[in-house]
Amino acid sequence: MPYTKELVDEVNVLNLFHLSNNQEGIKVHATAEQSTIDAAKRLHDKGLTTQKDGGYLTDLGIEAVEHAKALLLILTTEH
C-alpha cells in the first residue's frame, strides 16, 4: 500500500512530538493548515493522541512516533 497524502500528513504531525519528554504535548491551532488540523483529528480518532487538536501521545502514539522517527532517520542518513 503506498503512502497517501493523508498518511504523510499524519506522520508529519507525529514528528512534531518530542519523545525525550512525554509531558510535552502539542497544540494544532485553528490557524494551521487544514491538512494538519485534519491529520491531528485522525490521529486522535486512531487512538494515538489524547486530544483531537494534538494533546499528548498515548502508549500507541509513543510507539508510532518511535517508528516514524526511525524511518525518517533511515531515509535521511547517507550510507
Q: What pLDDT sits at residue 77?
A: 94
Residue 79 has pLDDT above 80, yes or no: no
Residue 17 has pLDDT above 90, yes or no: yes
Nearest residue to 3 via CA among 76, 62, 68: 68
Give CA separation, 64 vs 38, 43, 47, 55, in Å. Answer: 18, 10, 11, 15
Q: How far apart are CA 4 and CA 49, in angstroms?
A: 20
Q: Phi/psi class of residue 10: alpha, beta or left (left: φ > 0; alpha: ψ in -120 to 50)?
A: alpha
Residues 65-78 have pLDDT tens digits of 999 999 999 999 99
**Where along the chain do its domains lie?**
5-76
Residues 18-34 have pLDDT tens digits of 999 878 899 999 999 99
